[in-house]
């Protein structure tokens, strides 16, 4: 049946229990809203040519059979989302030398990546996204080793993630780097963000209170050298009463979002960020003053302040004040 079929999509068939197996050259498979894992496993049992695989809302799916990935070495795009019982990826993940994109999101019980071994690594990976994986406590050391083509790395809303050993020297090609909303994470990226010379967007924090303040500060050392960085979203450390000078001196920055800096009292824009267009400050209850440098930001568009108590803006140029909107929480 359909021996020449290359693309197959199955949508909104919650009662589906079986499928044909004769899809010899199938390259793209997408399955969504099917309760049983049996149709998916049946489909994949004889496949060897998959390039793209997307699985979402398959209620009973707990894992991929090891041989499924091992038999599809040409796989380039793998996405699993909203599969609540999905728990792990098999060791054969690292046999996917052509894999460019790996996305796991809203899989609340996902808890385990295999540990890389031998010479098998994800050498072609360009996009890795982990979203809302509440069961994930750690990522294995060496997982991103030799991922020198990685351009987009996002690890967000993994509420129980504690350990993510990451040396940015392993991933020099990053354009977009987001490691945020992982409140139990007890380590920060090492190796110096300033080595990411192609980085255009950075989202970072908050981390566990166990993270040493000095280690958190060192994360930003040299970051002002990044002429490519356009967007910065930072959840500040509890000890910040002002922003580190490295952030203020980001000369190419166009968007900055400063969030939940509980002790932040002052932000000085007097000699910085000449290209800044968008400014957001939220969750900084002690912030009372902005420097008169805000008025010198001629490219600044409407700003947004929330949960701040700015009392002293007299020195800020009137035109800048008109472009900013203070909104109490």
Whole-number percent of the chain with pLDDT over 70: 91
Helix (H) or strand (E) holding 177: strand 176-180
Residue range 141-147: mean pLDDT, rounded: 87
Per-residue DSSP letters for 221-288? Answer: TTGGG-TT--EEEEE--TT-SB--HHHHT-TT--EEEEE--TT--EE--TT--TT--EEEEES-TT--
Contact (Cβ atoms closer than 8 angstroms) between residue 175 and residue 151: yes
Whether residue 328 is predicted with pLDDT greater than 80 in this model: the reply is no
How many angstroms separate the CA atoms of 295 and 63, rounded? 55
Of 104, 98, 107, 106, give the one whose Cα is nearest residue 126.
98
Model pLDDT, residue 1:
64
Residue whose C-alpha is closest to residue 193's, from 174, 165, 210:
174
Task: Give whichever of 14-28, 261-275, 285-299 has the largest mean pLDDT.
Answer: 14-28
Which has more confidence, 75 or 286?
A: 75
Mean per-residue pLDDT, 214-228: 88
Q: From CA 113, how far away is CA 31, in angstroms rounded?
A: 22
pTM of the model: 0.89
Count Cβ atoms within 10 A of the Cβ of residue 226 and give its class: 0-12 exposed, 13-18 middle, 19 or more buried: buried
Mean pLDDT of 95-119: 94
Higher pLDDT, 78 or 309: 78
Terminal CA-CA length for the chain: 60
How much of the chain exceeds pLDDT 90, in percent?
54
C-alpha to C-alpha distance for 196 and 3, rounded to whole angstroms: 46
Q: Choose the most confident range, by mean pLDDT, from 208-212, 232-236, 323-327.
A: 232-236
C-alpha span between 258 and 303 (Å, rounded): 12
Residue 195 near residue 219, CB atoms below 8 Å: no
Q: What's the pLDDT score for residue 310?
A: 57
- Output the pLDDT for position 96: 96
pLDDT on residue 309 = 61
User: For the residues 261-269, what does the mean pLDDT come to?
Assistant: 84
pLDDT averaged over the chain?
87
Query: pLDDT grade, residue 233 (50/70/90)?
Result: very high
pLDDT tier at 101 (50, 70, 90 boundaries)?
A: very high
Of 242 and 163, the one with more pLDDT: 163
CA distance 161 to 125: 22
Instruction: Pick the closest to residue 230 from 206, 194, 260, 198 (CA basis).
Output: 198
Higher pLDDT, 192 or 21: 192
Length of the chain (residues):
329
- Buried/exposed 75-95: b ≥16 CB within 10 Å, e otherwise: bbbbbbbbbbebebbbbbbbb
The C-alpha atoms of residue 8 and residue 27 are separated, in whole angstroms, by 8
Taking the C-alpha atoms of residue 34 and residue 12, their distance in angstroms, rounded to an integer, is 6
């Amino acid at each position: 049946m359909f021996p020449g079929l290359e693309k197959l999509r199955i949508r909104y068939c919650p009662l589906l229990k079986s499928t044909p197996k004769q899809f010899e050259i199938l390259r793209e498979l997408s399955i969504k809203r099917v309760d049983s894992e049996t149709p998916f496993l049946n489909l994949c049992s004889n496949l060897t040519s998959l390039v793209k695989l997307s699985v979402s809302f398959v209620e009973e799916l707990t894992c991929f059979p090891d041989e499924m990935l091992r038999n599809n070495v040409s796989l380039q795009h793998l996405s699993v989302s909203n599969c609540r019982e999905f728990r792990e990826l098999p060791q054969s993940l690292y046999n996917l030398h052509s894999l460019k994109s790996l996305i796991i999101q809203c899989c609340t019980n996902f808890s385990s990546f295999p540990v890389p071994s031998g010479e098998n690594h994800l050498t072609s990976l360009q996009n890795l996204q982990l979203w809302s994986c509440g069961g994930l406590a750690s990522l294995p050391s060496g997982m991103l080793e030799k991922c020198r083509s990685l351009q987009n790395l996002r690890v967000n809303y993994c509420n129980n993630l504690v350990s993510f050993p990451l040396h940015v020297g392993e991933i020099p090609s990053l354009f977009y780097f987001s490691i945020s909303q992982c409140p139990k994470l007890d380590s920060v990226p090492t190796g110096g963000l300033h080595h990411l010379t192609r980085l255009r967007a950075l989202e970072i924090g908050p981390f566990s209170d166990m993270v040493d303040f000095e280690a958190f500060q060192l994360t930003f050392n040299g970051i002002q050298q990044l002429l490519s960085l356009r967007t910065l979203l930072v959840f500040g450390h509890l000890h910040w009463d002002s922003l580190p000078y490295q952030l203020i001196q980001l000369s190419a920055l166009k968007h900055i979002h400063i969030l939940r800096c509980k002790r932040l009292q002052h932000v000085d824009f007097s000699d910085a960020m000449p290209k800044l267009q968008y400014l957001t400050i939220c969750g900084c209850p002690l912030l009372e003053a902005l420097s008169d440098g805000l008025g010198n930001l001629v490219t600044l568009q409407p700003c947004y302040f929330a949960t701040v108590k700015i009392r002293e803006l007299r020195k800020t140029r009137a035109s800048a004040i008109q472009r900013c909107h203070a909104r109490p929480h």
